[in-house]
Amino acid sequence: MFKHFFICCVALFSMTSCQSQKESVEVMSHSVNQSELMNDRYMNDRPKLVVGIVVDQMRYDYLTRFYHKFGEGGFKRLIKDGFNCKNNHFNYVPTYTGPGHASVYTGTTPKYHGIIGNNWYDKTTKEMVYCAGDESVQSVGTTNNAGQMSPHRMLTTTFADENRLFTQMRGKTIGISLKDRGAILPAGHTANAAYWFHGQDEGVWITSTFYTSKLPKWVTDFNASKTAESYLKPWNTLYDIATYTESGSDENSFEGGFRWKETATFPYDLATLKDDNRGFDILKATPYGNSLTTDFAMAAIVGEDLGKDGTTDVLTVSYSSTDYVGHNFGVNSKEIEDTYIRLDKDLERFLNYLDTTVGAGEYTVFLTADHGAVDVPSYLQSVKIPAGYLNFSQTREALNDFMTTKYNDQRLVENISNDQLFLNRQLIDSLGLDILKVQEQLVTELIGYDHVSKVYSAHTMSTTNFTTGIESLLQNGFNQKRSGDVIMVSDIAYIPYGRTGSTHGSGLNYDTHVPLIFYGKGIRKGDTLKKTIISDIAPTLSALLGISFPNGSTGQPLEYVID
């Protein structure tokens, strides 16, 4: 009887177990099917093309200041139909072009990606190096050494690199900018190509052997079309200059202008001025440089078949002319207003072209800047706002006197650049000095100089964790192997520059507050005043694409941006 009961129990358990397994399999099958459906839907939601736009030296307030001068199809289209992050900032110092482009696309700061300036002093080779310079590669498209460039000094990947890895190199990456560093650093290490403009007496788009041994046909065809030459024409305001009420007077003492033109006033006859202003390079300092960049970017979309299949491609475009115009004429000039009005037209033209070639709703765009700019200090002085200019020759002279008095040797300071002092460590060792004490004695000395507001040693940057204020920004820009022994911070609106035109580089709002707009496939409509930082861009794009974050990324995805 017990045996019979046992057999019945086993049979019942077996039936229950089988039923349970069947239900479990069905649940798993349903779950897998649901997962596959979600994955299929997710993969179908990936944009065919991601276009990253960096506007060089664009302060956030250019969006609001010139808003009523913009048409409906450029900046306004991005703002109204995209997601506008109104309180977006750089979270490090220095705010220069090279570090800015690297940070946008790597999702981190110079502390990790290593691009600590446009140029910096190499402590090993004892010479200045350029962020994109590479003598191991050769120019392609010119015999000039302007093509000896690559991203080899950038230590981390970009989100474009991660997209290439994720797609088994099937997703293309193309970088475009008038500036070599504006094309090279965003595109990353694995880019199919990066192209930049070589002016002077050639006026052609070039690259380097890091990418290819010869220019593709579409590039040679573009160069042969003499498009660049077509822009050597008069530059006048697009609209009646009397309507340019968002900027200062056309003739003033705060602007640089072009050589052999008596005043920095409209109009500018570029064909006449070019021979005394580095030939085709004059285009860089006019809005026509942005138009030329747009022309070339549109040619690249067709020439490289970007956004033509189910694998996401990446196109990085940096508009450099805004920076050249800002440096030359200043942020309050008629020239800068006209440049942004015309850039708005170029953006409209570019977006319409993307609609036609890639397909409306099939691409994603983000637009930001690599830094802002300060109002011309001489202009600020004229309206009684504290501002001024730094005299580095006086600083160096005072520093030499100090080094002679204190150590009887001026050679202990090997280099001064990018607001940093680099010490001769070998000489310090040979003299039996303590490097940390020398650093701190220099800190104590420099803080007493005029218009120096803060000074920190490399030891402090390496051993103290700053979480707020300018100290935090300095630390995010400090790379222990590449940065100097002592870092200086100037007074607000005091710059090492001429008395005309604007510059940048600080951790102050005029340099850190820049636009950030996401638009297109996978992006919600809306805006926020929550603070975002520049290193959030790359992880946000990575999350949108479902790919790995760049390997050194420290930013966070902006989940409220993604639809």
pLDDT surpasses 70 at 21: no
* Mean pLDDT for the stretch of residues 13-29: 45
Cβ neighbors of 426 (< 8 A, separation 6 or more) are none
Q: Which residue has the higher pLDDT, 18 or 559?
A: 559
pLDDT surpasses 80 at 13: no
**Could you count the other beta carbons within 10 Å of the beta carbon of residue 87?**
14
The amino acid that residue 146 corresponds to is A
pLDDT digits (tens, 9 = 90+) for 278-303: 999 999 999 999 999 999 999 999 99
Considering only CA atoms, which of 38, 20, 159 is closest in space to residue 542?
159
Hey, what are 476's tokens? Answer: 């995010």
DSSP code per residue over 288-327 = HHHHHHHHHHHHHHHHTTTT-SSS-EEEEEEE-HHHHHHH
Q: Indicate if 97 belongs to the active site.
A: yes
What distance in Å separates the CA atoms of residue 175 and residue 317, rounded to the nearest whole number? Answer: 6
Hey, what are 84's tokens? Answer: 């506008």
The amino acid that residue 371 corresponds to is H
pLDDT digits (tens, 9 = 90+) for 467-489: 999 999 999 999 999 999 999 99
* Mean pLDDT for the stretch of residues 203-224: 98
pLDDT digits (tens, 9 = 90+) for 398-417: 999 999 999 999 999 999 99
Question: What is the distance in angstroms between the CA of the first residue and the CA of the last residue of the chain?
Answer: 66
pLDDT digits (tens, 9 = 90+) for 219-231: 999 999 999 999 9
Under 8 Å between Cβ of 343 and 322? yes
pLDDT on residue 12:
38
Domains assigned to the chain: 49-304+320-382+504-545 (3.40.720.10), 391-450+452-490 (3.30.1360.150)
Hey, what are 107's tokens? Answer: 């999702």
Considering the candidates 16, 64, 95, 97, report the single residue annotated as catalytic: 97
For the entire predicted model, the pTM comes to 0.92
On the question of a cis peptide bond just before residue 186, with omega within 30 degrees of 0, the verdict is no
